[in-house]
Amino acid sequence: MHDHVLIILAQMHRKTSSCSGETPSSPWLTIPLDDYEAHMALPAVGQAQMLAEQLAILIERHAPASVAVMGCAGGNGLERFESTCVRRVVAVDINPKYIAVSKIRYANRLANLDLRCADIESPGLQFEPVELIYAALILEYTNTVATLATLKRNLRPGGTLAAILQLAHPQQHAITPSDYRTLKALSSAFKLVVPADLSAQASAAGFEFVDSSAIDLPSGKRFQLQTFKLLGQ
């Protein structure tokens, strides 16, 4: 998603380790990036590769000039922006340590990468609206109404919102058990979002449903990719 990619450095409070507008109790501030990335890359999880691949598919399908990746962590998938038509990329995460690692990894690889440290629910999160927003496995940890307000504010009219939701599975843990015990802190914040509920809430927020497709992983976990168009204002 870039021949050229835009950078605006992380906006953090210098006196603390927190981001602008972040939720102080967010469990994501307690998860070491090494643990998170190792867990997501486990064969029994396999979600890191899936998320990066879905982003690449969306880039090819929609050919956006600008994209925002919400919950970018350490930059998984940002490599898919290289040698594409995307001219501006905004990457957002609540954890300032994740943003710092993303900067180290990608600031020299992507000519114009805009890294933002912020809470996705914060009214203060605002940047030049983009043509595509990628919100993968984000809504399970946030207030949907507040999150949709942020996404709407930062998406151009006619732009595409692509959300990936984890689906319920009778034989699978919501968060796959692993040796990376720090991820247990996420259990208290995790909630499944029913795709039909997201469609209804997105419609109420001014989005039009476009399409939906299932994603099945070898682990047995299932996900749903939903895309919406922001109606003109």
Structure tokens at 20: 């602008």
Comparing C-alpha atoms, which of 88, 134, 91 is closest to residue 228?
134
Q: Residue ranges per domain, the chain? A: 27-230
Comparing C-alpha atoms, which of 137, 143, 96 is closest to residue 123?
143
Mean of the per-residue pLDDT values of the chain: 87
Instruction: Please indicate, yes or no, whether the overall pTM of this predicted structure exceeds 0.85.
Output: yes
Class of domain 27-230: alpha beta
Q: What is the largest CA-CA distance in the chain?
A: 48
Which residues fall within 8 angstroms of residue 22, CB to CB, at 6 or more apart? 29, 94, 117, 118, 119, 122
Q: Report the pLDDT value the prediction gives residue 18, as an integer from 0 to 100.
A: 55
Residue type at 194 in one-letter notation: V
Q: Does the pLDDT value for residue 70 go beyond 90?
A: yes
Average pLDDT over residues 170-181: 70
154 contacts 211 by C-beta, under 8 angstroms: no
